[in-house]
Structure 1
Amino acid sequence: MAKILVIKHGAFGDVVQVDGVLRDIRQQHPSDELVVLTTPPYRSIFERCPHVDRVLTETRPKAREPLLWWRLARLLRSEHFDRVYDLQNSSRTSIYRRYILKHADWVFGERKRGEESALSAFQRQLAGAGLDTPHTLAPDIGWMADDVTSILQARGVTGKYIVLVPGSSASHPEKRWPHYATLASAIANQTEYQVVTVPGPDEIELCRAIPATPLFDTHDKVLDWFGLAGAIQGASYVVGNDTGPTHVAACLGKPGLALFGPHASPVRTGLSRANFRAIEADDLKELPMETVLRKVIADLRSG
């Protein structure tokens, strides 16, 4: 039995997208031990992932932290990995390849410039190593979704509902479309759907300003990864910014809409899928609520 390492540090949206990649790696190594190296926030996700046997975490030490580098090198070398699939493909993991695990067989790559998505780049990377890739472009994270019936009932969500994802990483405020409040009101007035939000720790006040039902767990805390996935799994439709929960919706195969300014491309980020589409604007602030509402209602009617 060989020992296989897969490296994927983050971020959240990138983590959920690699489900299909991991499935294809697992099919190549059905009897081998498949270990994922990630960062602490995503440990629980990979521990639940059905394609993974074991999870290691690291904190990505800085250059001025030699003790942490030494500990990381000792940990990785002690595992005696036979092959490494680098799904981070960063300057950091190139150090691991050249100096820490230089005796392992490495499968690594890089994205092309332009409109290539990360998943298309992973498909090239795996195909170059001789792997079949039937699942790489079609992640399916149904395994990640908890049953949130009790949470919905406690919040008075008893029928069909639409999830709005108004937040984004605090370091990228330019990704936030500012008209979710008026969109929530219009959906409630013009359709039979309830409107909910799934706030993260830094988005509670943002979601409170929207006339929608914020979903929290039974202890009034923000939903964990699996509660979040469960809430999105049960939705009829999802509207969100370029952020992790929107990627969850796309990877669950939900119908929905991602809103993009000039910061990134929906194709390159992987958010443009069969059921999940995107609207792009030169300036998100100038994207009219009515444009988004028309698209939502049209999709609901056609679905």
Structure 2
Amino acid sequence: MTSPRILVIKLGALGDFVQAFSPFAAIRAHHPGAEITLLTTRPFAEMAVASPYFDHVWIDEKPRLWQVAKLVRLRERLRGGRFTRVYDLQTSDRSGWYFRLIGAGVEWSGIAKGCSHPHANAQRDFLHTIERQAEQLAMAGIAEYPPADLSWAEADLSRFGLPHPFALLCPGGAPHRPAKRWSAEHFGEIAQWLTQRGITPVLVGTHKEKAEIDAITAACPQAVALTGRTGFLDILGLGRQAMLALGNDTGPMHLIAAAGAPSLVLFGADSNPDLCAPRGQVSLLRQDDLADLDPERVKAALAALVAD
């Protein structure tokens, strides 16, 4: 008897990908003998390959509608996969195209018009990502939804030579959404506050956040900057070892929280934590304009995290 062939679609972004770990685990547990393929984008391939959830990881180059040759190749690949069921966890206009590309005869869980296992809840967009995905899978017959075990996420952190205890600070965020960032000046004050308590601040971010990270290390020379040196698996590993973490509403904070670090996440008016906040040992501070968020409130919330 041929094993079922399952396709899971999850393209991004980082926070959304992290919040799909539990659905990935649930799909694998529900289809223990299946051959499962993930269709994702290049930034998430390393994590997907390292995880125990997939037999194959395919990279989606996300062709445009006018790139006919690329769309034809994608259609041939999707159809050539001979999938028996698709779990569309992206549920976007793009993945709706893929429902049409793959053709008839394939079971499909998602919101594409005409699919076999629709997520039939008109209020789905008002659910937190985690509850929305759990409900979608339940409607497709997956009732068991265990939390994801991230012990597979291995990384050699010895190259960083970090002193313990340390706290992770994530001062960055999407470049096109600056209102989601608390100021580097305030992060610098928090770094000094941590240092005074014997906790080394460790700054995580890409080269796009270099200006903010440099400003923080100028204010607190004891801070350790890992600018551009951490992949996603590294951040998961750091999250397992960190005493606590502080950051804006940004993808790395999802990784850190998923790894188990007690985390404080800052939300402005640009995003709604009711729909997308990280889960775990997570506290939230909300301020419509993050420029008005008093560092003393942040210090009090961090102190409560340590006390817990």
1:117-150 per-position Cα deviation (integer Å, ceiling 9, x unaligned): 1111111111111112332xx3443322413123
Is 1:133 the counterpart of 2:144? The answer is: yes
Cα deviation for residue 46 of structure 1 reads 0.7
Asked whether the equivalents of residues 39 and 58 of structure 1 are also in contact (C-alpha less than 8 Å), the reply is yes
1:31-70 per-position Cα deviation (integer Å, ceiling 9, x unaligned): 0101000111211111111111111111111122111111
What TM-score results when the alignment is normalised by the length of structure 1?
0.91
Instruction: Choose between structure 1 and 2 for higher RCO, CA contacts under 8 A separated by at least 6 residues.
Output: 1
Structure 2: tracts of 5 or more residues without a match: 112-118
Match in the other structure for 1:294: 300
Cα deviation for residue 113 of structure 1 reads 5.8
Choose the corresponding residue for 2:68, options 66, 69, 91: 66
**Could you tell me how far apart the structure 2 residues matched to 1:263 and 1:253 are?**
26
Cα deviation for residue 9 of structure 1 reads 0.5
Asked whether the equivalents of residues 264 and 285 of structure 2 are also in contact (C-alpha less than 8 Å), the reply is yes
1:153-197 per-position Cα deviation (integer Å, ceiling 9, x unaligned): 2xxx322011000001112211101121111112212x1211111
**Paired residue secondary structure (2:208):** coil
Asked whether the equivalents of residues 161 and 196 of structure 1 are also in contact (C-alpha less than 8 Å), the reply is yes
Instruction: Give the letter for the 2:172 counterpart.
Output: G
In structure 2, the CA distance between the partners of 1:143 and 1:287, relative to structure 1 (3 Å rule), is: same
**Could you tell me how far apart the structure 2 residues matched to 1:142 and 1:172 are?**
33
Match in the other structure for 1:32: 34
In structure 2, the CA distance between the partners of 1:48 and 1:274, relative to structure 1 (3 Å rule), is: closer
Q: How many residues get paired? A: 290
**Could you tell me how far apart the structure 1 residues matched to 2:290 and 2:149 are?**
29
Cα deviation for residue 114 of structure 1 reads 6.6
Cα deviation for residue 270 of structure 1 reads 3.4
Deviates more, 1:31-40 or 1:94-103: 94-103
Cα deviation for residue 115 of structure 1 reads 4.8
Deviates more, 1:92-101 or 1:166-175: 92-101
Deviates more, 1:261-270 or 1:241-250: 261-270
**Could you tell me how far apart the structure 1 residues matched to 2:8 and 2:203 are?**
33
**Paired residue secondary structure (1:250):** helix
Match in the other structure for 1:171: 176
**Could you tell me how far apart the structure 1 residues matched to 2:124 and 2:83 are?**
31
Asked whether the equivalents of residues 6 and 85 of structure 1 are also in contact (C-alpha less than 8 Å), the reply is yes
Tell me how large the CA RMSD over aligned residues is: 1.7
- Following superposition of structure 1 onto structure 2, how do residues 1-303 of structure 1 map, counting pairs within 5 Å? 1-109=3-111, 112=123, 115-135=126-146, 138-151=147-160, 153=161, 157-178=162-183, 179-189=186-196, 191-210=197-216, 211=220, 212-215=223-226, 222-271=229-278, 273-300=279-306, 302-303=307-308
Asked whether the equivalents of residues 172 and 248 of structure 2 are also in contact (C-alpha less than 8 Å), the reply is yes
**Could you tell me how far apart the structure 2 residues matched to 1:255 and 1:80 are?**
43
Cα deviation for residue 75 of structure 1 reads 1.0
Asked whether the equivalents of residues 239 and 257 of structure 2 are also in contact (C-alpha less than 8 Å), the reply is no
Asked whether the equivalents of residues 163 and 235 of structure 1 are also in contact (C-alpha less than 8 Å), the reply is yes
**Could you tell me how far apart the structure 1 residues matched to 2:191 and 2:104 are?**
53
**Paired residue secondary structure (2:152):** helix
**Paired residue secondary structure (1:202):** helix
In structure 2, the CA distance between the partners of 1:16 and 1:107, relative to structure 1 (3 Å rule), is: same
**Could you tell me how far apart the structure 2 residues matched to 1:113 and 1:93 are?**
17
Instruction: Give the letter for the 1:56 counterpart.
Output: W
Structure 1: tracts of 5 or more residues without a match: none
Instruction: Give the letter for the 1:194 counterpart.
Output: T
Cα deviation for residue 102 of structure 1 reads 3.0
In structure 2, the CA distance between the partners of 1:114 and 1:79, relative to structure 1 (3 Å rule), is: closer
**Could you tell me how far apart the structure 1 residues matched to 2:61 and 2:303 are?**
44
In structure 2, the CA distance between the partners of 1:84 and 1:114, relative to structure 1 (3 Å rule), is: closer
| Aligned residues with identical type, % of pairs | 31
What TM-score results when the alignment is normalised by the length of structure 2?
0.89
1:200-229 per-position Cα deviation (integer Å, ceiling 9, x unaligned): 13112321111221126xxxx521221222
Instruction: Give the letter for the 1:229 counterpart.
Output: L
